[in-house]
Amino acid sequence: MPFHLAISTEGLFMAAVLDDFPVLTPVSDDDVALAVRAVLVHAPEQWPVGPLCRAERVPHPCRLARWGRGTLRAAGLTEARVDELVAAGDPDAWPWA
């Protein structure tokens, strides 16, 4: 008796959608500039339900905030320096200035 195997790709698609964005190395200057903007735009805001992404209103850190921080860490910045950039709030700031 033949056996029919049904394979759903829906789960694979959802996993790909929910995965983090890749942090590419070496990190280019353009990547650094985009990462600085990402951590600023996707900074946390306090809500009654907890911290949410300022831009997406999803639990913080969202995918772009994680990508931005990961990219800046790959470029050699410390978490403390990334936090300083977020506190300064300047999307055009150069991290090594």
What is the crossing angle of helices 79-88 and 63-74, to 10°? 120
Within a domain: 18: no
Tell whether the torsion through CA atoms of 19, 69, 89 and 48 is positive or negative. positive
Percent of the chain with pLDDT over 90: 66
Within a domain: 4: no
Q: Which of 3-12, 23-32, 71-80, 85-94 has the lowest mean pLDDT?
A: 3-12
Within a domain: 62: yes
Distance CA 84, CA 26 (A): 23
Position 94 scores a pLDDT of 82
Within a domain: 12: no
The parent domain of residue 58 ranges over 24-88
pLDDT at 51 over 90: yes
Within a domain: 84: yes
pLDDT at 14 over 60: no
pLDDT at 1 over 80: no
Summary mean pLDDT of the chain: 86
Within a domain: 80: yes
pLDDT band at residue 91 using 50, 70 and 90 as cut-offs: confident
pLDDT at 87 over 60: yes
pLDDT at 22 over 60: yes
Number of domains in the chain: 1
Within a domain: 44: yes
